[in-house]
Structure 1
Amino acid sequence: MSDTLQLILEDSDGTQLQTSCTRFAVLWQGKEVWIQQDGRGQLLIGVDVEEGDDEYASLLLRPLATNLVSLQLEMEPADAGDDDHVHGPDCGHAH
C-alpha cells in the first residue's frame, strides 16, 4: 500500500489544485498538526511538541451526528512526574 496522500487544495474563489505528498501539516492554534498515512490505509494525526514545552496538545475527535465529527485541539499541562503515561512506539515522545 502506498503512503502517498492525494491532496486537493481549494482557495477562497473555489479554484482547486491537486497535488500529492507523504506528509503535510496544518498550522492550527499555533501548533503544527501533521497528517500522514501509516501504510495500512489509516491516517495518523499528531501535534509536534518541542523540547521544553510546558504544555502538550491533545486532539479530541467527537461524533456530532451521522457523518459529522468535531476535532478539537486542547492544551494540557506537561507534568514530568506523570507516571500514568506508558511510553511506546506510537506515543510520539523521544526515548
Structure 2
Amino acid sequence: MTTDTLKLILEDTDGTQLETSCTRVAVVWQGKEIWIQHDGRGQLLIGVDVEEGDAEYANLLVRPLATNLMSLQLEMEPADVEGDDDDHVHGPGCNH
C-alpha cells in the first residue's frame, strides 16, 4: 500500500522531539518556500514556489557530501521576462 503522507520528526535545540504527519511540508529558506511531499511511489518531490511577477527562478542544487549526507543549495537565476510566451506549456525539455 502506498501513501502520500509524510511522517515528520521535529526536534528542538534541546533535543526534544515531536512526531506528526502531513501531506506536504515547507521550509522558508532565503525568503522562498521549499516544499517537500511524498509522491506515493516511494520518492520525495522537492520544489520551490514561484510567485506571479517573480524576476528570478529558483534552482535547487543537490550534492553528495558523505554516505548519509547531502548539501542542498538554493540558487537564483534571472527569469527571461522579455521572452515569456503566454502560450508556453511546461514540459521535460523546457528547463523550467
Q: Which aligned runs of 4 or more in structure 1 are off by greater than 2 angstroms?
A: 64-68
Does residue 87 in structure 1 map to residue 90 in structure 2?
Answer: yes
Alpha-carbon shift at residue 35 of structure 1 (Å): 0.3
TM-score, normalised relative to structure 1: 0.84
> 1:4 & 1:31 partners in 2: Cα distance?
23
1:86 CA displacement: 7.2
Q: What is the percent sequence identity of the aligned residues?
A: 84
Which residue of 2 is the match for residue 22 of structure 1?
Answer: 23
Comparing 53-62 with 66-75, which one deviates more in the overlay? 66-75
SS of 2:80's partner is coil
Deviation per CA, 1:1-50, whole angstroms, max 9, x where unpaired?
01000000001111100000000100000000000011101000000000
RMSD: 2.4
Q: How does 1:12-91 map to 2 (within 5 A)?
A: 12-80=13-81, 81=83, 87-88=90-91
Amino acid at match of 2:48: V
Gaps of 5+ in 2: none
How many residues are treated as equivalent by the alignment? 90
